[in-house]
């Protein structure tokens, strides 16, 4: 295993949103400030060439952390570095050079392309911002990119609405690859697509990763898709990471009670009558998270300590996990 | 060019137009009035402002179908012997020119301010919107009167005629920009959070470029509908101001001026001097409004 | 077991200015009492449209242009709006995808459930209210006696969907049409709702038509599955059969393209191309341009539904096999 520094390092990153009512209203109704802790202390690293998947349900903060990684949201706390350089510094000249190396693919294929622009112009936009290629050079590169994602060079003169969801997502990928980035953040890129179209897009993404040496951060709520694409998987719950492990380890031997609950809740095509951890409760309101370990109201193994103290992340045989029960070796069999 | 035109004709908008009788009639009416107005120099039977051609003896002649009428003056003449039909055509031109200019001005100011307000947010947004709110609490006529009054006080007497037009256009435009600003600001707030804008930010495009090249084309739709409605309002505002005597100078009367002047003769029997300009105004505004109504319904998103 | 629902050669058309679009073309299947039949397909396959046609909520200008829909042997596709309204709620219950818009935000949950009961069953308002409380309890809503007077916005997404299920089952209908009931919910809630739906429908002996694009949900919930493609039926069979030995090449591609958490493949099975739009359905078999096993006949003649083992598939491959 190489000892070189990971490409992306995230350390205790947090993003809080102030969603309080306006000042006057607060004074009159004596309400306290409302802070949404969308991401509340997340740490992980990604090696060059690998795919880290972040998985979780609504309100867990995975989309927020994705946007923090590309500089769309400033950090409230903590640090994110890309190849040693802090992401918080994405303004100005040096910021532009940094932006060239990381790009993002969004979830909604219908909203991520400007409906008034032609496809060729959309794909060429990063080139205009970062390089001084001539128009002919840009045209040629757009042809190459369209072919790489399985579309036709003549498609560059058409408008997004003339394409299907899966094709639009490919156009998004082509745009993201326009200036040869090293790192792609993919925010639920196939969640809005039909299953067979999803297969096409996932296959292309894997091919591209292999051919171009890309590093991916893959956000999803779909564990089966994650199982297909990821090398390592991180599970998020209410703004924190509860477990990170290698893909095979996580799926074969999940440690955190939430991970186990998630895995047993997935509707499965092949199995019937498999063991299930009882599924209880719903994701609480992120504005008012439970005390201590935020998962404690739904945890079948909860004890007093869980209600008071939030567990720290510890490393157990290569698995990073935040759970008192695992740390202290409580019996947690179903 | 031909390909684009035939594509437009096949498109949904043209199909809707072809199947909405009201829209067709309104468009045709407007077309006729536009030709009459802007072709006045060539097709008007007389030039009512050329003092040499006016014959005082022909004053107060009724329209052609009345007892005393002649085919020389189809719609009769006013108290000075000026042909009413020609005066109507020139008057429509004046009304339309002022209306279109005012709409263009309001649109430019409103769209830019609305775009900046919506995209920048924060204090800039608050400032622009408060200014708009304050202005909206004054009736447009009052604002126009205020600006006009100030202009007349500031500018020496002989310049009044020269500045009358710009001041009038400016006053109506200034009264009308908040509507555009609010509409555009609302759409901008929505588009700002859309993923294609976020994608542009991730790519590293600067904010002004995003505002004008990405967001602007996508928020212009409702502006178009607003503009047609605003055109009707602008024409009526100008007519009202001219009626009150603070609009266009009497040497190039608009429909409003003609109505005012003719009003004095209404009860002495020479009804045509005020009724015809009034009818023309109503027809013009009605056509514009109906067209605007159709446009708003036709541009509504339907089943894809 | 008798069939609660029978759909025979159903066709639905949309007249547009570009011509008439056939959104459903000769669709046939049936659901027996107590059975859960899944209707699966991708966007545009026509599964939601089938559900809408059954409930009588086809949006104009769409209309049924052929075939019959039979509820317990009686035709319901040719009923008037009034008659259809009586059937909806009493004999057919509906569950839609978005719990937020399925409930009226201005009335309490209890009022809406009781209203449905009173409209269709001979009960007084207080009896209906009591029954509503029981229904809420059986859908797993805690403190039902208090929550019955809450408004929809006071419930979370998963809770709201439970209320919708209670509402759908309130008048004890014989058929439930559920259109993507769990798609908008989190995975952990999805599992709870699926369990609930299965349990309650089994208790009442209702027939269930479960429309979804998610094969996993079908695998957990349904007994049989109907695979739809471009407004037509591609395959019908027991869930286990269709998943493990699909007969129609589209089903084969579909099952292969779904990633699984149990085994790992390098590349997912990929069906090239996309489902044709309604304006561009090819002649013969609608799947023929994308089919890896296409024959000349497929391009000309639309295949009949042919029995293959315990399943039925609309594919010429199997007729050839049978003949030989």
Question: pLDDT, tens digit, for every residue of C24-46?
Answer: 999 999 999 889 999 999 888 88
Residue A93 has pLDDT above 80, yes or no: no
Of A107, A113, A129, the CB nearest to B203: A129
Residue C324 has pLDDT above 70, yes or no: no
Instruction: Report how far residue A33's alpha carbon sits from residue A104's, in angstroms, rounded to the nearest whole number.
Output: 33
pLDDT of C197 reads 87
List the one residue out of C215, C214, C195, C212 whose CA is nearest residue C203. C195
Q: How many CA atoms lie within 13 A of C169 on its CB side?
A: 27
ipTM given for this complex: 0.83
Helix/strand/coil for A52: strand
Contact yes or no for A67 and B198 at CB 8 A? yes
Of A166, A196, A266, the CB nearest to C187: A266
List the one residue out of A46, A34, A28 whose CA is nearest residue A183. A46
For chain C, say whether A190 makes contact (Cβ under 8 Å). Answer: no
Contact list, A100 vs chain B (CB under 8 Å): 204
Residues of C (181-200) whose Cβ lies below 8 Å from A: 186-192, 194
B/e letters for A137-148, b = 16+ CB within 10 Å, e = fewer, are: ebeebbbebbeb
Chain B nearest CA to A253, separation (Å): 37
Residue position matching structure tokens 């009442």: C204
Of C219, C254, C275, the CB nearest to A267: C219
Q: For helices C157-169 and C187-204, what crossing angle results, to 10°?
A: 10
Instruction: Report how far residue A171's alpha carbon sits from residue A168's, in angstroms, rounded to the nearest whole number.
Output: 5
**Residue B155 CB contacts under 8 Å (≥ 6 apart), including other chains:** B163
Contact yes or no for B202 and A112 at CB 8 A? no
Helix/strand/coil for C103: coil
Q: Mean pLDDT score of chain C, rounded to an integer?
A: 88
List the one residue out of C231, C276, C287, C303 whose CA is nearest residue C62. C231
B/e letters for B155-186, b = 16+ CB within 10 Å, e = fewer, are: eeeeeeeeebbebbbbbbbbbbbbbbbbbbbe
Residues of A (81-140) whose Cβ lies below 8 Å from B: 95-96, 99-100, 103-104, 106-108, 111-116, 125-126, 129-130
- Residue-range domains of chain A with CATH: 8-101+181-328 (3.40.50.300)
Mean pLDDT of B134-160: 80
Residue ranges covered by each domain of chain C: 3-91+173-242
Helix/strand/coil for A18: strand
Confidence of residue B303 (pLDDT cuts 50, 70, 90): very low
Enter the pTM of the model. Answer: 0.82
Per CATH, the number for B21-41+84-298 is 1.10.3720.10
For chain A, say whether B208 makes contact (Cβ under 8 Å). Answer: no
What is the token pair recorded at A39? 């991401």
| 3-state percent breakdown (helix, strand, coil) of chain C, nearest 5 | 40, 25, 35
Confidence of residue C1 (pLDDT cuts 50, 70, 90): low
Contact yes or no for A228 and C253 at CB 8 A? no
Residue A89 vs residue C14, higher pLDDT: C14
Residue ranges covered by each domain of chain B: 21-41+84-298
Residue position matching structure tokens 């994705």: A66
Of A111, A130, A172, the CB nearest to B194: A111
Instruction: Report how far residue B253's alpha carbon sits from residue B175's, in angstroms, rounded to the nearest whole number.
Output: 22
Number of Cβ within 10 Å of residue C151's Cβ equals 15
Contact C15, C42 (CB under 8 A): no
pLDDT tens per residue, range A264-273: 888 777 655 5
Residue B185 has pLDDT above 90, yes or no: yes
Instruction: Report how far residue C70's alpha carbon sits from residue C68's, in angstroms, rounded to the nearest whole number.
Output: 6
Of A71, A103, A108, the CB nearest to B195: A108
Mean pLDDT of A240-251: 94
Domain C3-91+173-242: CATH superfamily, name plus number: P-loop containing nucleotide triphosphate hydrolases (3.40.50.300)
For chain C, say whether A262 makes contact (Cβ under 8 Å). Answer: yes
Mean pLDDT of A145-160: 90
List the one residue out of B294, B237, B295 whose CA is nearest residue B102. B237
pLDDT tens per residue, range C242-252: 999 999 999 99
pLDDT tens per residue, range C177-219: 999 988 888 888 888 888 888 888 888 888 999 999 888 889 8
Please give the helix or strand (H or E) that residue B147 lies within, else none: helix B140-154
Residue C17 DSSP class: T
What is the token pair recorded at B119? 């995209």
């Amino acid at each position: 295993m190489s000892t070189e520094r990971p490409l992306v390092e995230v350390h205790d990153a947090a993003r809080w949103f102030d969603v309080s009512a306006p000042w006057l209203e607060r004074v009159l109704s004596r309400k306290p400030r409302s802070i949404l802790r969308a991401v509340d202390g997340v740490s992980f690293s990604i090696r060059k060439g690998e795919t880290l998947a972040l998985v979780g349900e609504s309100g867990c903060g995975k989309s927020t952390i994705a946007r923090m990684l590309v500089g769309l949201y400033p950090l409230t706390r903590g640090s994110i570095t890309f190849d040693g350089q802090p992401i918080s510094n994405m303004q100005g000249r040096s910021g532009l050079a940094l932006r060239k190396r990381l790009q993002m693919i969004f979830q909604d294929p219908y909203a991520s392309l400007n409906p008034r622009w032609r496809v060729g112009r959309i794909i060429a936009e990063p080139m205009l911002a970062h390089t001084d290629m001539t128009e002919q050079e840009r045209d040629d590169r757009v042809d190459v990119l369209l072919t790489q994602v399985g579309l036709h060079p003549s498609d560059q003169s058409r408008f997004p609405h003339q394409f299907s969801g899966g094709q639009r997502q490919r156009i998004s990928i082509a745009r993201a690859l326009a200036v040869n980035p090293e790192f792609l953040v993919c925010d639920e890129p196939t969640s809005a697509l039909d299953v067979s179209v999803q297969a096409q897009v996932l296959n292309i993404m894997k091919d591209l990763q292999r051919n171009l040496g890309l590093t991916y951060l893959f956000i999803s709520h779909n564990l089966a898709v994650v199982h297909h694409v990821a090398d390592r998987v991180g599970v998020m719950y209410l703004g924190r990471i509860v477990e990170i492990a290698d893909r095979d380890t996580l799926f074969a031997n999940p440690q955190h009670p939430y991970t186990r609950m998630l895995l047993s809740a997935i509707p499965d095509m092949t199995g019937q009558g498999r063991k299930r951890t009882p599924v209880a409760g719903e994701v609480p309101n992120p504005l008012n998270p439970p005390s201590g370990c935020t998962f404690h109201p739904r945890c079948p193994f909860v004890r007093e300590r869980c209600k008071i103290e939030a567990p720290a992340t510890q490393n157990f045989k290569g698995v990073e996990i935040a759970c008192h029960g695992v740390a202290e070796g409580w019996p947690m069999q179903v | 060019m031909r390909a684009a035109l035939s594509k437009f004709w096949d498109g949904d908008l043209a199909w809707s137009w072809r199947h909405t009788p009201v829209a067709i009639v309104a468009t045709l009416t407007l077309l006729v009035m536009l030709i009459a107005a802007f072709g006045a120099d060539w097709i008007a039977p007389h030039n009512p402002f050329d003092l040499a051609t006016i014959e005082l003896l022909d004053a107060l002649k009724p329209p052609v179908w009345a007892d005393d009428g002649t085919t020389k003056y189809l719609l009769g003449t006013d108290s000075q012997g000026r042909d009413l039909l020609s005066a109507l055509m020139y008057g429509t031109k004046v009304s339309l020119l002022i209306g279109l200019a005012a709409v263009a001005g309001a649109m430019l100011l409103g769209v830019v301010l609305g775009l900046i307000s919506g995209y920048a947010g924060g204090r800039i947004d608050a400032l622009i919107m408060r200014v708009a709110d304050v202005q909206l609490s004054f009736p447009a006529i009052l604002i126009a009167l205020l600006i006009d009054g100030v202009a007349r006080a500031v500018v020496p007497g002989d310049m009044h005629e020269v500045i009358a037009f710009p001041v009038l256009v400016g006053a109506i435009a200034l009264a009308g920009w908040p509507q555009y600003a609010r509409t555009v600001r609302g759409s901008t707030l929505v588009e700002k959070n859309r993923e294609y804008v976020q994608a542009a930010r991730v790519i590293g495009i600067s904010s002004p470029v995003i505002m004008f090249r990405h967001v602007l084309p996508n928020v212009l739709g409702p502006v178009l509908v607003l503009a047609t409605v605003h055109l009707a309002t602008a024409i009526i505002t100008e007519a009202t101001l001219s009626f009150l005597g603070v609009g266009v100078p009497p040497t190039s009367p608009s429909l409003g001026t003609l109505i005012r002047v003719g009003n004095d003769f209404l009860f002495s029997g020479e009804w045509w001097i005020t009724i015809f300009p009034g009818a023309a105004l109503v027809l013009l505004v009605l056509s514009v409004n109906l067209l605007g109504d159709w446009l708003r319904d036709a541009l509504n998103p339907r089943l894809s | 077991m008798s069939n609660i629902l029978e759909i025979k050669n159903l066709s639905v058309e949309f007249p547009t200015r570009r011509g008439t679009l056939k959104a459903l073309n000769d669709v046939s299947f049936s659901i027996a009492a107590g059975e859960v039949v899944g209707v699966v397909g991708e966007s545009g396959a026509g599964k939601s449209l089938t559900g809408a046609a059954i409930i009588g909520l086809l949006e104009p200008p769409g209309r049924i242009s052929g075939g019959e829909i039979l509820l317990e042997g009686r035709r319901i596709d040719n009923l008037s709006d009034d008659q259809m309204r009586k059937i909806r709620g009493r004999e057919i219950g509906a569950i839609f995808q978005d719990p937020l818009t399925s409930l009226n935000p201005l009335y309490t949950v209890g009022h809406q459930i009781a209203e449905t009961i009173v409209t269709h069953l001979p009960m007084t308002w207080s009896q209906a209210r009591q029954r509503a409380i029981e229904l809420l309890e059986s859908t797993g809503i805690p403190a039902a006696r208090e929550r019955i007077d809450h408004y929809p916005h006071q419930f979370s997404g998963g809770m709201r969907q439970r209320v919708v299920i209670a509402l759908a089952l309130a008048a004890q209908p014989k058929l439930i049409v559920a259109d993507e009931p769990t798609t908008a919910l989190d995975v952990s809630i999805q599992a709870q709702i699926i369990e609930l739906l299965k349990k309650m429908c089994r208790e009442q002996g209702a027939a269930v038509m479960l429309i979804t694009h998610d094969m996993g949900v079908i695998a957990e919930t349904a007994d049989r599955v109907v695979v739809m493609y471009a407004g037509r039926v591609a395959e019908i069979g027991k869930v286990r059969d269709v998943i493990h030995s699909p007969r129609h090449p589209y089903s084969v591609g579909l099952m292969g393209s779904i990633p699984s958490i149990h085994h790992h493949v390098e590349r997912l099975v990929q069906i090239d191309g996309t489902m044709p739009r309604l304006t561009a359905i090819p002649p013969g078999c609608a799947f023929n341009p994308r089919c890896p096993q296409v024959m000349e006949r497929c391009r000309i003649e639309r295949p009949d539904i042919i029995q293959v083992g315990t399943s039925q598939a609309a594919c010429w491959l199997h007729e050839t096999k049978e003949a030989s």
